[in-house]
Structure 1
Amino acid sequence: MKIILIPGLWLDASSWDQVTPVLRSAGHSVHAMTMPGVGAPASRSSEIGIADWVAAVVDEIDTTPGLVVLVGHSGGGNVVYGAVDARPERIARVIFVDTFPPADGGSIWEFPVVDGVVPFPGWDFFEQAEVADLDDATRAAAAAGTRSVPVRVPTDPLRLRDDRRRRVPATMLTGTVTEADIRSYIDAAPPWAAELAALEDLEIVELDSGHWPQFSMPERLAAAILAAVDHTRG
């Protein structure tokens, strides 16, 4: 099975470096992506939006024969869900790493803009539960690898058009929200959780991590991804 890994904001393909060897050793083809405009100045990235990130993933799907598994971390969850919407017949499973499937018109978040791009805002920007499992050395190493993202990407609305996306098997690997809370969101079905509530085949796995398990517990994250893929095969 080909597994396509999409990083969250400020991260590139290298953010998966501690995860991909485990996936490959299990016999899978793995492609970690760096999204368009990451690290580029405003003069070369200001016109790049979320649709361009989705299109980059769709292009990768289209170059691959057969079904693929999409994995999206954080804001990458919006990207993979947009790709699921564009190619529902090509996706064996979509895996959300500490993130939720967005509703139509939903965006990632609003972050400070500096010189026309969105730089990594620093660990103090995030809630304690999101960063508690990252020690100082891990924080320093991860922060050193961050790069700015195009200004439009975090706030662009994601457009969804094909209801078949809701039939694609989905796994949520959650670190900062409990399964019980997620199930309560499904039951209440507020507008922001409309897609979550509409998924027809959803499994939820608690990682007992913060928001960046690829840095704090990469082997555990890889094992959870493999379990989800094996569940799809079985």
Structure 2
Amino acid sequence: MSTFVLVHGAWHGAWCWEKVTPLLEDAGHEVVVPDLPGHGEDATSVSELSMQDYADRVVRVLDEQPEPVVLVGHSMGGLVISLAAEARPDRVKKLVYLTGFLLEDGKTLLSVAENDGEAIVLPNLVPNEDGSAFTVNNIKEVFYGDCSHDDVARAQTRLVPEPAFAFGTPVAVTEGNFGRVPRAYVECVGDRAIGISAQRGMREKLPCETVVSMGTSHSPFFSAPEELAGHLVALA
């Protein structure tokens, strides 16, 4: 049995894993679902945060576990788990990128998004008054294309503004730490937040030992939780 640490993406919180967590637990696994600072039930002001704070939150979770974990990152959470693995490579059994940003050293989330002709996130970003954070219009089309009306409505009430630093902070990883942790990728073919070509392009530069393909939108934790949980168990 494994311990899974599930890291949500931008705008979301630990709540997005609510359908997947019990499925993994029913299969006998331990599951930890942290809120990144400023997300979910964590009320830290975004003005006080940095990408390092996101990574530090996950590193603390890794340090609290009795054994190395399967560390799963969705979307922007992919960047966060890379940083956490860089800091604690011996605490991670495997990295799993769920339609996640798998970035080379020095690259930013924005550097991928700007060249992603299949994604519709950037045209739907809405900055706050000082440009320090963004919300998203048309969330059904962007994130939840194949999700139920009820799931979309519930998510709408829980999404939070995402700080601008999430898009422009370069990832800092090395081959000696991050690079020695086994990694897998779960691609989502119908994704409009990170297009399938962008997902595959990132893997061309940083190959993964295992790739699983799902025919879903950006949010299989809502639209296909049983299938997703099955893939995670198999990858573990």
TM-score (norm 1): 0.80
Letter in 2 for 1:171: A
Q: How does 1:203-214 map to 2 (within 5 A)?
A: 203-214=210-221
User: How far apart, in 2, do the equivalents of 1:90 and 1:147 lie?
Assistant: 30
Give the equivalent residue in structure 1 for 2:226.
219
1:34 aligned counterpart, secondary structure? coil
> What CA distance in whole angstroms lies between the structure 1 residues aligned with 2:217 and 2:190?
9
Residues 121-174 of structure 1 show CA distances to partners (whole Å, capped at 9, x for unaligned) of 0236955xx643124333222222212233322322221135332232211111
Distance in 2 (alpha carbons) for counterparts of 1:68 and 1:223: 17
For the residues of structure 1 that align with 2:28 and 2:68, how far apart are their CA atoms?
A: 15
Q: How far is 1:203 from its partner?
A: 0.6
* Cα separation, partners in 2 of 1:184 and 1:44, compared to 1, 3 Å: closer
Q: Quick one: distance in 2 between partners of 1:198 and 1:124?
A: 29
Q: Secondary structure at the match of 1:92?
A: strand
Cα 1:34–1:43 change in 2 (3 A) is closer
Which residue identity is paired with 1:139? Answer: V
Q: What is the Cα-based RMSD across aligned positions, in Å?
A: 2.9
SS in 2 for 1:210: coil
Q: CA deviation at 1:17?
A: 0.5
What's the counterpart of residue 118 of structure 2?
Answer: none
Work out the CA distance in 2 between the residues paired with 1:154 and 1:125: 21
Matches within 5 A, 1:107-186: 107-109=108-110, 111-116=125-130, 117-123=132-138, 131-176=144-189, 185=201
Runs of 4+ in 1 over 4 A off after TM superposition: 124-127, 180-184
TM-score, with normalisation over the residues of structure 2?
0.80
Q: How many residues align?
A: 217
Cα separation, 1, equivalents of 2:66 and 2:206? 28
Query: Residue 179 of structure 2 aligns to which amino acid in structure 1?
Result: R
Seen in structure 2, the aligned counterparts of structure 1 residues 36 and 182 have a Cα distance that, compared at 3 Å, is closer
- Specify whether residues 184 and 43 from structure 1 end up closer, same or farther in structure 2 by C-alpha distance, changes over 3 A only: closer
Show structure 1 runs of 5+ residues with no match. 186-192, 230-234
Percentage identity across aligned positions?
28
CA displacement at 1:20 relative to structure 2: 0.2
Q: 1:13 to 1:184 in 2, by over 3 A?
A: closer
Looking at structure 1, the residues matched to 88 and 44 of structure 2 have their Cα atoms a distance apart, in angstroms, of 31
- 1:133 to 1:39, Cα distance in 2 relative to 1, 3 A: closer
User: 1:190 is matched with which residue?
Assistant: none
